[in-house]
C-alpha cells in the first residue's frame, strides 16, 4: 500500500515536473543566438593589377548563461586568393556584469582603442569597403602602411559607464593583454636618412624601422603585458569623443616600447555622420650595433588620421530612399607618408544590408600609388 | 607593473565613492526604451527592425549590445521592456490595455514610445523626423501607411511596426493632425 502511495506521489510529481518543463518555453528569456554579418565584394586594383570577387562570412555566436554572464564569439570565414578557406577567431570572450554600470570581460576581445576596431569594422557598419588608411588589419591589403593594425587581443578588460543622465555619459575602458611582439623574420627596412631629412630633418642615425606584430595569440614573447584604455564623453544622441592609450614592450628582452595615443570623434545627425580618428605612435627601434657597445634605442614617431563623412540623402529627399554619399580622407605621416581619398555611394536595401560603390585614390610618397574601385554587398543577420 | 596599475585602476573604479553616486543617479532617471534606442544604436549602425528577432533572441542580443554600447543594466532592461511592448499584440498586453485607454492618441504615443525617436511639440528624439506637421505636409494617408508598413517609403527605415489596430491608427493620425 505504501509502495502504491509512493508510486502515485511519484507519478503526480512527474506530471508536475513535466508541466514545468513544458511551461519553460513560454519564458521570454533565451539562451543562444546565431547572428553576424557577411559580404561579397568586387574589387579592381591598379597596384595589384587585378580585379577579383571575394566573399566573407562572419558568424557571431551569443550565449546568455544567466543575468550576470554572457558569452560571445565571432569567427571570420573567408576564401583566400589560393582558393583556401581561412578561418580566423575575431573574438571569444565572456562578460561578467558586476554591477549595473560595471562589466568585466575576459578572453579575446575587440580592443577599445578608438572606435573603428571596437565598433565600426563590421562591413555592414563600415561605410566604405575598406578599412580606414591608418588601420590595416582585418584582412585588408592596402597601399598605406597602417599605424596601429590591431583589432583584438587576449586578456582582461573592465568597462565602467558613468551615468549622468540618459543623454550624458562617460565611458571608461581599461585592459591588460598579451600585447605586441617583434615580428618574426622581419625584413627590416632601413630608413633612408636622406629621405627622412627631406621630410622632417630629424633622426641623426640610420636605423632599422621596427616591425611590430599585433596578431593576437595565446602566448607572449615576454612577461610584459600591454596596458591601455579609452575614456570617452558622450552627449547623446549627437556626439561622442574619446581618447585612447596603448603601451607595450614588444621585444623578448623587454627593452623596446610601443606607445600609441588616439583621439576619436563621432558626430551623429539626423541626416549625416562624421567619424574620425587621430593616432600617434612612438616605437622604439635598435640603431645599428657598434662593435664594442650595445645598440642604442631610437624612437620612431608616426601619426595619422582619417575623417569620414556620410550624407544620408534619403533623409532629405525621401524619393532617394536609402541612398547615402560617403567621402573619406586619410593621411599618415613620416616613415610611410601617404594620403588617401575615398568617395562612394551607398544604397541601403533595408536597415541591415547595403550595396556600396566606392573609389579610392592612394598617393604614397615613397612607393607605388594605388587606385581601387569596389562594389560591395554587405549584410548583417 | 602594468598589471598592478590595472588592478589599482580596477579597484578604484569599482570601490570608489563615485560608483554609488552614479548607481543612485541611474535609479532616479532612466530613459524610455525607445529613447535609449534612439540615443545609442545610431552611434554605430542603423537600428535593426525589432521584428527581425524574437523576444527570446533579443534577450540574448541585448547583453551583447550592453557591453558594445556601454549601456547600463537598467537601460538594457528598459529596452527589453520596450521590445516586449512592440512585439506583443494589443490583445495579449492586457495589463497595459486596462491602464491605458485604447483609443487615446496621447496614451498610444506614450505606450509605443513615439517620442523616443520623433520630436513632437518640441520634445523627443531625432532618429526619425519631427511629427508636428507630418499630416499637414504629407497627408493622413501617408501616416496611415507609415504606421501600417513603416518601410514602405524607405527600406532602411528603423521604425518598428507597432501592434496597432485600425482604430488606433486612426486615433494616432487624428491626434498628430490636431496638434
Domain span holding position A94: 3-380
Contact B120/B130 with Cβ under 8 angstroms?
Answer: yes
How far is CA A92 from its chain centroid? 14
- Whether residue A100 and residue B74 make contact (CB cut-off 8 A), yes or no, is yes
Instruction: Using alpha carbons, select from A241, A107, A277 the residue that is nearest to residue A176.
Output: A107
Mean pLDDT of B87-104: 57
Nearest to B72 among A28, A63, A101 (CB): A101
Mean pLDDT of A180-188: 66
Confidence of residue A222 (pLDDT cuts 50, 70, 90): confident
Mean pLDDT of A33-51: 93
Report d(CA A135, CA A128) in Å as an integer.
Answer: 13
Closest-approach residue (CA) in chain B for A381: B52
pLDDT the model gives residue A34? 96
Query: Where do we find the cell 519564458?
Result: A27
Q: CA angle, A302 as apex, A299 and A304 as ends, to 5°?
A: 165
- Kindly report which listed range (A72-86, A142-156, A338-352) carries the lowest average pLDDT score: A142-156
Closest-approach residue (CA) in chain B for A312: B156
Size of interface A-B (CB pairs under 8 A): 184
Beta bridge partner(s), residue A62: A33, A72
Report d(CA B40, CA B28) in Å as an integer.
Answer: 20
Confidence of residue B16 (pLDDT cuts 50, 70, 90): very low
pLDDT the model gives residue A3? 46
pLDDT the model gives residue A216? 86
Q: What is the DSSP string of A295-351?
A: PPEEEEEEEEEEEEEEE-HHHHSGGGTTEEEEEEEEEEESSS-EEEEEEEEEEEEET
Nearest to A32 among B46, B60, B127 (CB): B60
Report d(CA B56, CA A303) in Å as an integer.
Answer: 46
pLDDT the model gives residue A253? 85
The yes-or-no verdict on residue A111 having pLDDT over 70 is yes
By the 10 Å C-beta count (0-12 exposed, 13-18 middle, 19+ buried), A339 is classed as: middle
Diameter of chain A by CA atoms? 103
Chain A neighbors of B40, CB-CB under 8 A: 236-237
Report d(CA B97, CA B117) in Å as an integer.
Answer: 23
- Whether residue B6 and residue A236 make contact (CB cut-off 8 A), yes or no, is no
Give percent above pLDDT 90 in chain A: 59
A96 near B CB under 8 A? no
A223 near B CB under 8 A? no
For B93, residues 6+ apart whose C-beta sits below 8 A from its C-beta are B85, B163
Mean confidence (pLDDT) of chain B: 80
pLDDT the model gives residue A226? 94
Chain B neighbors of A105, CB-CB under 8 A: 67
A323 near B CB under 8 A? no
Nearest to A322 among B10, B71, B156 (CB): B156
Mean confidence (pLDDT) of chain A: 85
Q: Give SS3 for B10.
A: helix
Provide the chain A residues 61-80 that lie in CB contact (below 8 A) with chain B. Answer: 62-64, 70, 72
pLDDT the model gives residue B62? 97
Alpha-helical regions (H) of B29-165: 33-40, 55-68, 73-87, 94-99, 105-111, 114-117, 134-138, 140-148
The tens digit of pLDDT for each residue in B121-136 reads 888 887 788 899 889 8
* Total domains, chain A: 1
pLDDT the model gives residue B100? 52
Give percent above pLDDT 90 in chain B: 32
Report d(CA B152, CA B96) in Å as an integer.
Answer: 29
pLDDT the model gives residue A53? 93
Q: Give SS3 for A94.
A: strand
CATH of the domain at A98: 2.40.160.10
The yes-or-no verdict on residue B98 having pLDDT over 50 is no
Predicted structure pTM score: 0.82
Chain A neighbors of B10, CB-CB under 8 A: 158, 174
Predicted complex ipTM:
0.84
Closest-approach residue (CA) in chain B for A99: B73
Provide the chain A residues 188-207 that lie in CB contact (below 8 A) with chain B. Answer: none
Q: In angstroms, what is the C-alpha Rg of chain B?
A: 19
The tens digit of pLDDT for each residue in A305-317 reads 999 999 999 888 8
- Whether residue B55 and residue A165 make contact (CB cut-off 8 A), yes or no, is no
Amino acid at each position: 500500500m505504501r509502495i502504491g502511495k509512493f508510486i502515485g506521489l511519484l507519478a503526480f510529481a512527474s506530471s508536475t515536473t513535466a508541466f514545468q518543463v513544458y511551461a519553460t518555453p513560454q519564458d521570454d528569456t533565451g539562451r543562444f543566438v546565431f547572428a553576424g554579418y557577411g559580404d561579397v565584394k568586387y574589387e579592381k586594383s591598379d597596384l595589384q593589377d587585378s580585379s577579383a570577387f571575394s566573399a566573407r562570412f562572419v558568424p557571431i555566436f551569443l550565449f546568455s548563461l544567466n543575468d550576470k554572464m554572457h558569452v560571445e564569439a565571432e569567427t571570420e570565414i573567408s576564401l583566400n586568393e589560393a582558393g583556401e578557406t581561412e578561418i580566423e577567431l575575431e573574438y571569444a570572450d565572456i562578460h561578467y556584469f558586476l554591477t549595473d554600470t560595471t562589466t568585466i570581460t575576459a578572453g579575446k576581445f575587440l580592443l577599445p582603442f578608438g572606435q573603428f576596431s571596437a565598433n565600426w569594422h563590421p562591413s555592414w557598419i563600415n561605410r566604405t569597403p575598406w578599412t580606414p588608411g591608418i588601420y590595416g588589419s582585418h584582412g585588408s591589403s592596402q597601399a598605406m602602411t597602417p599605424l596601429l593594425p590591431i583589432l583584438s587581443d587576449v586578456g582582461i578588460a573592465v568597462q565602467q559607464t558613468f551615468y549622468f543622465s540618459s543623454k550624458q555619459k562617460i565611458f571608461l575602458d581599461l585592459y591588460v593583454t598579451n600585447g605586441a611582439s617583434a615580428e618574426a623574420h622581419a625584413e627590416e627596412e632601413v630608413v633612408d636618412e636622406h629621405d627622412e631629412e627631406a621630410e622632417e630633418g630629424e633622426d641623426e642615425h640610420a636605423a632599422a624601422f621596427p616591425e611590430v606584430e599585433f596578431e593576437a595569440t595565446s602566448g607572449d614573447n615576454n612577461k610584459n603585458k600591454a596596458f591601455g584604455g579609452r575614456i570617452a564623453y558622450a552627449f547623446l544622441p549627437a556626439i561622442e569623443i574619446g581618447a585612447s592609450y596603448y603601451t607595450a614592450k614588444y621585444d623578448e628582452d623587454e627593452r623596446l616600447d610601443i606607445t600609441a595615443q588616439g583621439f576619436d570623434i563621432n558626430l551623429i545627425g539626423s541626416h549625416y555622420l562624421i567619424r574620425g580618428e587621430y593616432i600617434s605612435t612612438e616605437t622604439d627601434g635598435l640603431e645599428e650595433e657598434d662593435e664594442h657597445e650595445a645598440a642604442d634605442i631610437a624612437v620612431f614617431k608616426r601619426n595619422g588620421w582619417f575623417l569620414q563623412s556620410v550624407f544620408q540623402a534619403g533623409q532629405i529627399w525621401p524619393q532617394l530612399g536609402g541612398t547615402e554619399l560617403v567621402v573619406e580622407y586619410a593621411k599618415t605621416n613620416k616613415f610611410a607618408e601617404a594620403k588617401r581619398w575615398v568617395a562612394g555611394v551607398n544604397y541601403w536595401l533595408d536597415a541591415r544590408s547595403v550595396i556600396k560603390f566606392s573609389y579610392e585614390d592612394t598617393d604614397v610618397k615613397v612607393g607605388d600609388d594605388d587606385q581601387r574601385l569596389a562594389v560591395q554587398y554587405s549584410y548583417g543577420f | 607593473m602594468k598589471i598592478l596599475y590595472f588592478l589599482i585602476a580596477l579597484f578604484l573604479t569599482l570601490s570608489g565613492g563615485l560608483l554609488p553616486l552614479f548607481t543612485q543617479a541611474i535609479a532616479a532617471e532612466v530613459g524610455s526604451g525607445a529613447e535609449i534606442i534612439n540615443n545609442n544604436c545610431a552611434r554605430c549602425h542603423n537600428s535593426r527592425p525589432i521584428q527581425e528577432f524574437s523576444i527570446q533572441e533579443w534577450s540574448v542580443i541585448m547583453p551583447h549590445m550592453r557591453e558594445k554600447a556601454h549601456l547600463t543594466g537598467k537601460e538594457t532592461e528598459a529596452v527589453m521592456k520596450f521590445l516586449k511592448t512592440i512585439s506583443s499584440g494589443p490583445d495579449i498586453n492586457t495589463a497595459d490595455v486596462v491602464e491605458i485607454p485604447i483609443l487615446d492618441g496621447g496614451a498610444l504615443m506614450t505606450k509605443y514610445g513615439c517620442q523616443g525617436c520623433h520630436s513632437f511639440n518640441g520634445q523627443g528624439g531625432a532618429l526619425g523626423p519631427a511629427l508636428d506637421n507630418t499630416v499637414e505636409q504629407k497627408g493622413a494617408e501617408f501616416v496611415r501607411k507609415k504606421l501600417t508598413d513603416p518601410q514602405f517609403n524607405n527600406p532602411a527605415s528603423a521604425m518598428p511596426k507597432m501592434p496597432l489596430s485600425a482604430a488606433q491608427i486612426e486615433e494616432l493620425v487624428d491626434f498628430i493632425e490636431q496638434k
